[in-house]
Amino acid sequence: MKDWTGNRIRCFLTVLVFFLIPYLLFGCRKVSFESSEGDAITPMDKNLIVVGVSQVGSESVWRTANTASIQKVFTKENGYFLIFKNARQKQENQIKAIRSFISQRVDYIVFSPITETGWDTVLQEAKEANIPVILIDRKVKVQDDSLYVTWIGSDFIHEGRMAGEALEECLSQRKNTKDTVHIAILQGTKGATSTLGRTQGFASVAETHKNWNILEASDAQFTTAKGEEEMERLLKRYKTIDVLISQNDDMTFGAIEALQKEKIPIGGEDGIIIISFDAVKNALKLVEEGLIAADVECNPNQGEYVEKVIKKMESGEAVAKLYFVPERVFTRENVSAHLLKESGE
Ligand code: GZL
Ligand code: ZN
């Protein structure tokens, strides 16, 4: 006769160890989370705060730095379990990621919305699941702004204004202030807050100068390849381009390729004036060399600010609806000291 008692005890112990104890430990919450790699993770210390992050993509050097600032902060050592998803520049991938965070019942959802519209439904689902949403970098246009707790990012309109003010400075330093200044603009992703804000901010300065002629604003999607392609097209279309306003450094790198191919002088006394955004390290070296006249910083280090907000919320403190990160403009006057300090760090 088989020893049923022994089997029964073994079976009871298995259920106890692998199901009952974890269930008691984690309450009703699922005892395993899908990791960023997509495989299920075994139960983990219930004290970790689970943060689901949906990132736009990896379209630019700035984006890579932004991602690094998040991954550096949300570590197990700091008390977090990070589920990070890269949407590869597709809104539907971000919506899918947010839905997976909801089904995994994470504690917080953090995301940079690739464009401003199309988020009401999925953010309503997060609200109904009682999961707070924190926006970084770019904004959403929603009917009900209680669908997100706060937004952390750059003052893009101010960035655009700073670019306009930098161009005023450049033109005033040039002896031969031309009667008409012909300006081309490389814009970032259509509908992105950074694109909208930089365009609006620069326009608010440009409209005070009757002799500034904006030839065209073309969509180069924040990438180097499109920046080069669009710059080639603009050079074919317009006989004279005195100024290029490029809404991120990646597009600027592409545009410089195109200009150098056509042997068009850049910077100096009478070369094309390039004003860029993001102020990533390789671009600041071009500021030092005089190829970029001014680079408006777009501070990517938002991870630490997100953590401050989560800590406040964890301790029941109220949080503001909006937090701006600090930013400067780099020109030949201040870039070398900054690069030296950065390399020293
Ligand atoms: C700015 C961010 C922009 C960067 C680009 O906060 O939205 O997206 O300027 C990035 O480099 O692609
Ligand atoms: Zn200002």
Query: 25-45: per-residue pLDDT in tens?
Result: 444 444 456 555 444 553 356
Type of residue found at 308:
K
| Backbone dihedral region for residue 37 (phi beyond 0: left; psi -120 to 50: alpha; all else: beta) | alpha
pLDDT at 193: 94
Cβ 59 under 6 angstroms from ligand 1: yes
Dist. CA 251–CA 253, nearest whole Å: 5
Longest dimension (CA), the chain: 106
pTM above 0.75, yes or no: yes
Tokens of 104: 């995994």
Q: Report CA(164)–ligand 2 centroid distance (Å).
A: 10
Q: How far is CA 104 from CA 14, 18, 30, 62, 79, in A?
A: 25, 19, 7, 29, 18
Measured from the CB, is residue 298 less than 6 Å from ligand 1?
yes
For residue 306, give the nearest of 29, 78, 33, 32 by alpha carbon.
78
Buried b / exposed e along 66-94 (16+ C-beta atoms within 10 A):
bbebbeebbeeeeebbbbbbbbebebebb
Q: What is the DSSP letter of 145?
A: G
Residues of the chain with pLDDT under 70: 1-46, 175-178, 345
- Intra-chain end-to-end CA distance of the chain, in Å: 74
Tell me the CA–centroid distance for residue 165 and ligand 2, in Å: 9
Query: Under a CB-based contact definition with an 8 Å cutoff, are residues 64 and 56 in contact?
Result: no
Q: Is the dihedral of CA 215, 218, 222, 224 positive or negative?
A: negative
pLDDT of residue 76: 93
Tokens representing residue 93 in the block: 């991938």
pLDDT of residue 36: 54
- Please give the pLDDT value at position 11: 60
Query: 222, 247 in Cβ contact below 8 A?
Result: yes
Q: Which residue is associated with the tokens 């597709």?
A: 90
Say yes or no: CB of residue 299 within 6 Å of ligand 1. Answer: no
- C-beta of 62 in contact with ligand 1 (< 6 A): yes
Residues 6+ apart with CB under 8 A from 117: 140, 141, 191
Q: What are φ and ψ of residue 216, in 5° steps?
A: -170, 145
Predicted local confidence at residue 33, as pLDDT: 64
Tell the residue nearest (CA) to atom 2 of ligand 1.
194
**What pLDDT is attached to residue 179?**
86
From 54, 56, 60, 151, the mutation candidate for ligand 1 (largest count of ligand atoms within 8 A of CB) is 60
User: What pLDDT, on the 0 to 100 scale, is given for residue 191?
Assistant: 94
